[in-house]
Amino acid sequence: MILESLASVLGMMAEDVRTARTKDPAARSAVTVALLYSGVHAVWGYRLAHALWHRGFRFTARFFSQAVRLLTGVEIHPAADIGRRLFIDHGAGVVIGETAELGDDVLLYHGVTLGGDSMRREKRHPTLGDGVVVGASATLLGDISIGEAASVGAGSVVVDDIPPGETVAGVPAEPIDGADRSRQTRSK
């Protein structure tokens, strides 16, 4: 059982490295990603903190997540629900709140905030569907849903739901008609 768990963890770590190499043209090697990518390290730290959180070690999980934040510049609450293959490019300044939910294959650039808009103990952070891309320094606030394969432009402020496949930008974020998604996902 321990060997199966270790194999599973190592498999996920290898998947994260492959994801970074696929999504970042600057990634020169798997060794470089594994040793030097703070966004990847933050995701690995989150996974350990998340496991501790769900096993009832909440203080330890929070303490560990804060240590990871100090080392990586990325703050992910251990209670957040994050799917597979999350890639945080450049990492610095990313904040993912307690009730945030992220699907698989999400790409976040530096400075992204998935923040709350309520002081009550309720769902108060965004939900991002599979394949969502969020540009640098974008802020998504509240219990909003970002549909599958949607894109949020850099510096945008999002306070309303975004339908699947939609591209939005601005303050407040509004749909961009005829957006070239291939160009949007390459820009930082």
Which strands form 157-158's sheet, in the order they lie side by side? 75-76, 95-96, 113-115, 139-141, 157-158
Count of CB atoms situated within 10 Å of the CB of 71 = 12
Amino acid at the residue 44: W
From 50, 77, 110, 125, active-site residue: 110
Active site residue 90: no
Q: Which of 129, 125, 118 is nearest to 140 (CA)?
A: 125
List residues with catalytic annotation: 110
